[in-house]
Structures are given as C-alpha cells and as structure tokens.
Amino acid sequence: MNLYKQAADLIKKKSNIVAFTGAGISVESGIPDFRSSGGLWERFDPNEYAEYSAFLKWPEKFWTMHSELSEMVLTAEPNPAHLALATLESMGKLTTVITQNIDFLHQRAGSSRVLELHGTGETASCLSCEKQYDRVTVEKIRETAHVPRCTVCDGLIKPNVVLFSELPPVDVFEEARRALLKADLVIIIGSSLSVYPAAALPSVVSFANTPLIIINEEPTSMDNYANVVIQGKAGEIFPRIINALNENSNFN
C-alpha cells in the first residue's frame, strides 16, 4: 500500500491527533528555515544574532536580522500545509498544534490550539520594567530607532521569542508534553528535530507507543520510530493525504 494511503488510513480512525511543526512547514509561505542550504543561519550567525547575551551586548544585530525576517513574515500567507492542519481540526480529528515557529501562520490558517514552544513575534517586552508591547507598536517605535527602547523606562525592548540560552516557557512545554502523551497519533512536519529541549518532546511517542507520521524534506532522528515517513514538500504532501480522507481516491 503506498505511503499516502497508509498515512490517510492512520488518520481516518483518530480523534486526538497532535501535530509538531518546525520552520519547514512555513518555507512554502516564503519564510526560509534555519538549517537547510540558504537557511537563516547561513546568513546570520545565531551566536551573534539570536543568542540572549549577544542580544544584550549587540541588540542592533538582532534587529537587523529581525527587520529582514519580519518583512517575509508580514507578507507570508498560510500555505496548504497550515490550512490542511486547520481542516483536520475542523473535522474533529486534530486537537493541538505544537510549533517551534513564531510566524503566527497556524493561527492565521485557523488552528485554534497552538502551543508556541519558542514564543511569538506578535508581542514584545521591556527587559527592564517588563512593560508589554504589541508588534505594531514596536514597529512604530522602530520608524525612528533601529533598536527600540521602552517608552516608560528606556530599557531594551525584545520580542517575546525564545533566543538561544534563554529558558523556554516551561508551562507551554508541560502542556505540549501532556498533549503528546494523550495523543492517538502524532504528525511531525518540517523540523530537523535538532534544537533541544523542543526536539526531545516528540520522543514521548516511542514509549507511549503512539503512531507517528513524519513529513519532512530530509531524514530526521525520529524516522525509525515512525509508521509512515514521506520526504518532500509539506505543502504538496499533507493536503494530498487530507484530501484522501474525504474520498476513496487512488494514489498514483
């Protein structure tokens, strides 16, 4: 039986699917991932541009990368892979999307329960007085200052994204771990599974004996646990599987 049919048959019987996504799911929306060739870390050294103590030392570097990335995020639209996950939720089959992404595309596609392991680019905080800002307000402040500072105390403003050597949101991680333990199927889409602790989360399937589907352009460390691995573009592969749920189409 071909891989698409195997994946569709697994999904057919499920009602508590949890998806785990990475930057690869947003590449077809025009947002580069991090580690593929041409990815973000080829152009910006994460130790200088996306690490917490480096942010405190050279905030202008982070904001230079942020300017380039936010251009792409603001013009990006959810692609068929994001939309297919929202469809699976509307069919009462998927309960949770756990994402490492900060691009808000799952929410814009219609997914209602999205656990953001690496925070969000939609809000920001002053690192001194903790005043909260929304993205639009920060962009307004940045019209006159490359490095935005707090309007109350002049402290450094930082988007609520998790930088390297920053503690990720423990409550979100715990909620994601519980969701994965209760899942009757896990689908991993577009992640190299190379950044911990996020990358450790999906391995709960191995001892919970949960069926696993992986859709990724390259092999991952979880492939040998998976029931189905389909290598290629998520925006092409995933919708084809979901369409198969609604009809008995033959896969060529």
CB of 65 to ligand APR, least distance (A): 12
* Nearer to ligand APR among residue 135 and residue 233 (C-beta): 233
* Interface contacts to ligand APR, rule CB under 6 A: 22-24, 27-28, 33-36, 39, 100, 118, 190-192, 194-195, 216-218, 233-234
Per-residue CA distances from 3 to 25, 203, 213, 231, 252 (Å):
19, 22, 10, 10, 11
Specify the residue, 39 or 239, whose C-beta has the smaller distance to ligand APR: 39
Sign for the CA dihedral angle at 189, 192, 196, 199 comes to: positive
Annotated catalytic residue 106: no
- The letter for the amino acid at 143 is E
Q: Nearest residue to ligand APR, using CB?
A: 24
Euclidean distance between CA atoms 29 and 82, whole angstroms: 9
**Residue 92 in tokens:** 């009462």
| Shortest distance (Å) from residue 192 CB to ligand APR | 3
Sheet strands (E) in the chain: 17-21, 94-99, 114-116, 119-126, 132-134, 157-161, 185-189, 212-216, 228-231
Active-site residue (options: 66, 82, 106, 118): 118
Q: Name the minimum Å distance from CB 66 to ligand APR.
A: 13
Would you say 31 or 150 has its CB closer to ligand APR? 31
Query: What residues act catalytically?
Result: 118
